[in-house]
A = this chain, B = another copy of it.
Amino acid sequence: MDLAIVLDSNTNQSLQQQLYEELRRAILSGRLPQGQRIPSSRSMAKSLGISRTTVTQSYEQLLSEGYLQTVVGSGTFVCTHLPDDLLHSTPVESAQSIPRLPIKLSKYAEALAKTNVITTEPHVPISFRYGRPAFDQFPIKLWRKLLSRHCRTNPTWLDYASDLLGYKPLREAIARYLTRFRAVQCEPDQILITNGTQQSLYLMMRLLIDPGDAIALENPGYLSARRIFLTQGAKLLPVAVDESGLVVKELANYSTELIKLVYVTPSHQFPTGATLSLPRRLELLTWAQQTGTLIVEDDYDSEYRYGDRPIPALQGLDRTHSVCYLGTFSKVLFPSLRIGYLVLPSNLVSLFAHAKWLSDRQLPLLEQQVLTDFIEEGHLERHIRQMRSHYDYCRQVLVQALNFHFGDQVTILGEKAGIHLMVRLHTNLSDEEIIHRAAQASVGMISAQPCYLKAHHPGEFIFGYSELNEQQLQEGIRRLAQVLLE
């Protein structure tokens, strides 16, 4: 029997391993057929010029894995129990050859396949994209110091979490923060740490919405939320937004619907930038109470309000446990931190905690511990204060540039808040033409159109100003004026 086994003494792989691989390949490819007697270890060693121990070890490995079998008194044979049809090819080499039967996906997967899940942003020198903080303002050194301190002193961060709701000192710190700055009424045990608003909304949909259930939402509104609602099979009921936020009385248009929940962004309505006024807040709470509807309050951008004090959260005005409150550190600190939170009515806490555990167990503990220190040692408040003044200035620069270059051909919408603003351009150009001309001038513009579920207003654009410096903001608007105005 000539197996033409090639062993190479110049590789890292041991001779024993090489022999094992060669024999295995020979068996799987059929070069060594089932039931074939293989040479004794002595003669194999002699023919290959290697030690008998090496051969014995290779054989034993193949025996233990079921490629070979021994028959007492007769010798060693290729196993006869290997299924025929898998033998006469070399699996490793021909891996791509056999097409797979089509897999039947779940209904959820079918809905997902029909939904555009992500938005791609233009890659241009000056992009007015939104939703990211000013990375160059983040106190990296301080963060690194806290990380390093924790790695040294606190080895508890290696283990599984002992707490389904998330790291308890972090929940306590968040509860104090929310009570103080957002007038949210909460105990630490009402808080579930999630890895961001995306997961908070996803869990909420999973636990509260069955296909066909109705959700009322702002129109225009936050696209990522809408995508989660849609893939869960929810029926979407758009409600208009004006300069005081959600037009609550429009909810009455849907009086024949059983609305399961209403999703709102009261601090800085996305994308219009309106702040839900106090009368509207009270009106919405009354409506929710009367209809038994849950309010999902996504309080993003609540940290950034320039001028007035922020209006207290809906959750804090609520007396009937009708509000689920969502927050995140993605925009205040950095998105890749992946820490957000849900403040839940107490009767929902355990359910949400178990759903989170079942879906991905927990967040890394190290980041939760470092964030706790960051809050408790006062760094968060200081950082927010600094960023508030930074973004306020960026906003003023942008507004001045828009007014200077566009004059009465632009309307700036929304309150002095957040890290983006929405504008209405008074022009006869189509949105596509505007974006195209901007791109020609190396400026990225983002249309508000996809945020509309119905009745889109042409000429509306979202301008993020958190990632650009003064010079970029001014230059960006100057270029836009050059290519968009007559």
Give the interface segment out of A105-113, A168-176, A426-434: A105-113
Q: Which of A185-202 contact B (CB under 8 A)?
A: 185, 194-196, 198-199, 202
Chain B residues in 8 Å Cβ range of A345: 100
Q: At the interface, yes or no: A351 with Cβ under 8 Å from chain B?
A: yes
Q: At the interface, yes or no: A155 with Cβ under 8 Å from chain B?
A: yes
Q: At the interface, yes or no: A478 with Cβ under 8 Å from chain B?
A: no
Chain B residues in 8 Å Cβ range of A113: 351
Q: At the interface, yes or no: A366 with Cβ under 8 Å from chain B?
A: yes
Stoichiometry (number of copies): 2
Docked CA distance A143–B366 (Å): 12
Contact of A109 among B208, B294, B336 (CB under 8 A): B208
Contact of A160 among B132, B143, B277, B294 (CB under 8 A): B132
* Minimum C-beta distance from A28 to chain B (A): 8
Q: At the interface, yes or no: A486 with Cβ under 8 Å from chain B?
A: no
Q: At the interface, yes or no: A140 with Cβ under 8 Å from chain B?
A: yes
Knowing A81-B279, A109-B207, A159-B334, say if A86 contacts B364 (CB, 8 Å). no
Contact of A92 among B81, B118, B316, B321 (CB under 8 A): B316
* B207 pairs with A260, CB closer than 8 A: no
Which of A161, A336, A365: most chain B CB closer than 10 A?
A336
Q: At the interface, yes or no: A48 with Cβ under 8 Å from chain B?
A: no
* A227 pairs with B358, CB closer than 8 A: yes
Contact of A86 among B97, B159, B213, B282 (CB under 8 A): B282
* A159 pairs with B132, CB closer than 8 A: yes
* Minimum C-beta distance from A203 to chain B (A): 9
Chain B residues in 8 Å Cβ range of A5: none
Which of A92, A107, A161: most chain B CB closer than 10 A?
A92
Query: Can you identify 19 A-B contacts, CB atoms within 8 angstroms?
Result: A81-B279, A86-B285, A91-B317, A98-B319, A98-B321, A103-B208, A105-B351, A106-B207, A140-B155, A147-B148, A158-B336, A159-B336, A198-B361, A199-B360, A227-B358, A228-B358, A336-B366, A337-B364, A364-B364
